[in-house]
């Protein structure tokens, strides 16, 4: 069992648990011992939250103490760090980010030399080193740290290179919402340099406003901005740039399921689709049915881009994603990248000469309700007989025409409840009943 690593690195509230300067310093040392093997080079990027400065310094000190050279990227998206790790031939890449969480949280994500998430065995090796006392290498063997000044420029050019050479966005007015996060210094330039007129939103980070009322977790801001400015569409990212959602010209939200469908259809019609499309247990039944009409096989895996990528590799497939907007275009990048996914959607609009709204309408989502219930012990709550009985009753009521899913969050102390079916009223009532059952059990557990 992993003690520190979750489904997507290590994450939590700053100043508590593992998200403290002393722990992160030791984490840097342990990672340097395992990934740097006492030498080599490791890249460090971060999003825009205020605590990033503190943890950047802590990681730097730990890695240098392990004898590893450092290259500091400054504010950089998670997928940007993955890309630069490959191009610099680094031993590993590290991102200081809590993704879509508020600024009070932070975390550490790791990438291998190939730009992939670390395999479990390497995470366990780092955890094993964390149990040992820090022992610095001799002074002559200490690592050195340098800052890469043109990191954003390198990433911008990479993103542009993933779009067809013929892609011309002139004539398009696009609202680009960067969530006051890591895409603020890259995304607007990508779309502008391809010819679009960009209306900027969420591009003034101050260390505290990341994901605050903007970005992919608050898409209502994007949707309102599109209608208010008369833009053709809108694009919103999360704090570290690995998620994307969009809005059509009428200000209607286009989620990750429908964006994934549009990219899959584009790849199919251009003859570039390979293998199957991979979603998760949260993917809407409407996506599965729309892909089936195109003759595309669809497979579900556990929630988390790690599991999507594992299945893509195992089946030599190239496309996968989640409703939240994590979309992996494996023929373009090694991890989910919001900017790259958005470019693939824009290329599809040009390919089919069709507005975003029209392509998105080919997916008819089933009514789906998502509810989060806070509890310090989500896994134990889900094992309670009362909760399991409530789930069984809900599934029986849906009668095979819907789905019920309760799962512990991989990043927060929550039970996530999803109910999907044909009748919205029924779905909402079942979700409400399940949340009340889970909440009641959570309160009993706290007494």
How far, in Å, CA of 216 to CA of 431, rounded? 23
Which run of H or of E encompasses 56?
helix 52-65
Residue 77 near residue 337 (C-beta atoms within 8 A): yes
Nearest to 213 by CA among 223, 228, 198, 227: 223
How far, in Å, CA of 63 to CA of 345, rounded? 39
Neighbours of 428 (CB within 10 A): 15
Q: What is the largest CA-CA distance in the chain?
A: 69
How far, in Å, CA of 442 to CA of 61, rounded? 41
Cβ neighbours of residue 167 closer than 8 Å, sequence gap 6 or more: 194, 343, 346, 347, 350
Rg of the chain, C-alpha, whole Å: 22
**Of these residues, 16, 51, 57, 99, which one is catalytic?**
99
How far, in Å, CA of 381 to CA of 295, rounded? 40
Q: Angle at which helices 424-446 and 385-398 pack, to 10 degrees? A: 180
How far, in Å, CA of 87 to CA of 109, rounded? 18
Burial of 54 (0-12, 13-18, 19+ CB in 10 A): middle
- Strand-pairing partners, residue 327, are 321
Cβ neighbours of residue 23 closer than 8 Å, sequence gap 6 or more: none
Told to judge if 270 belongs to the known catalytic residues of this protein, a careful annotator would answer no
Annotated catalytic residues are: 99
């Amino acid at each position: 069992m992993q003690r520190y690593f979750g489904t997507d690195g290590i994450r939590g509230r700053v100043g508590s648990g593992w998200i403290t300067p002393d722990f992160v310093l030791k984490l840097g040392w342990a990672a340097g011992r395992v990934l740097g093997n006492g030498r080599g080079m490791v890249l460090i990027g971060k999003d825009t939250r205020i605590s990033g400065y503190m943890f950047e310094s802590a990681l730097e000190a730990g890695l240098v103490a392990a004898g590893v050279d450092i290259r500091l990227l400054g504010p950089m998206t998670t997928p940007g760090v993955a890309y630069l790790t490959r191009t610099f031939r680094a031993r590993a890449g590290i991102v200081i980010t809590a993704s879509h969480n508020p600024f009070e949280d932070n975390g550490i994500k790791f990438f291998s030399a190939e730009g992939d998430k670390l395999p479990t065995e390497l995470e366990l090796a780092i955890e094993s080193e964390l149990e040992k006392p820090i022992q610095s290498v001799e002074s002559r063997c200490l690592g050195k740290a340098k800052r890469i000044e043109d990191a954003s420029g390198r990433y911008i050019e990479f993103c542009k290179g993933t779009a067809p050479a013929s892609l011309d966005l002139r004539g398009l007015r696009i609202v680009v919402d960067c969530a006051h996060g890591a895409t603020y210094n890259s995304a607007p330039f990508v779309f502008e340099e391809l010819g679009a007129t960009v209306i900027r939103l969420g591009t003034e980070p101050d260390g505290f406003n990341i994901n605050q009322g903007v970005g992919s977790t608050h898409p209502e801001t994007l949707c309102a901005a599109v209608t208010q400015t008369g833009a053709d569409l809108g694009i919103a990212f999360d704090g570290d740039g690995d998620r994307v959602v969009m809005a059509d010209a009428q200000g209607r939200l286009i989620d990750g399921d429908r964006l994934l469908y549009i990219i899959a259809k584009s790849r199919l019609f251009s003859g570039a689709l390979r293998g199957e499309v991979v979603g998760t247990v949260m993917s809407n039944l409407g996506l599965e049915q729309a892909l089936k009409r195109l003759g595309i096989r669809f497979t579900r895996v556990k929630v988390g881009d790690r599991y999507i990528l594992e299945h893509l590799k195992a089946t030599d497939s190239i496309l996968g994603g989640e409703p939240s907007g994590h979309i992996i275009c494996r023929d373009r990048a090694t991890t989910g990248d919001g900017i790259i996914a958005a470019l693939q959607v824009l290329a599809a609009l040009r390919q089919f000469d069709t507005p975003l709204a029209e392509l998105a309408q080919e997916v008819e989502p089933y009514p789906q309700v998502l509810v989060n219930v806070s509890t310090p012990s989500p896994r134990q709550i889900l094992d309670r007989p009362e909760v399991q009985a409530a789930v069984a009753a809900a599934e029986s009521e849906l009668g095979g025409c819907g789905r019920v899913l309760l799962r512990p969050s991989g990043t927060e102390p929550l039970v996530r409840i999803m109910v999907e079916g044909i009748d919205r009223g029924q779905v909402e009532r079942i979700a409400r009943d399940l949340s009340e059952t889970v909440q009641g059990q959570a309160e009993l557990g706290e007494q």
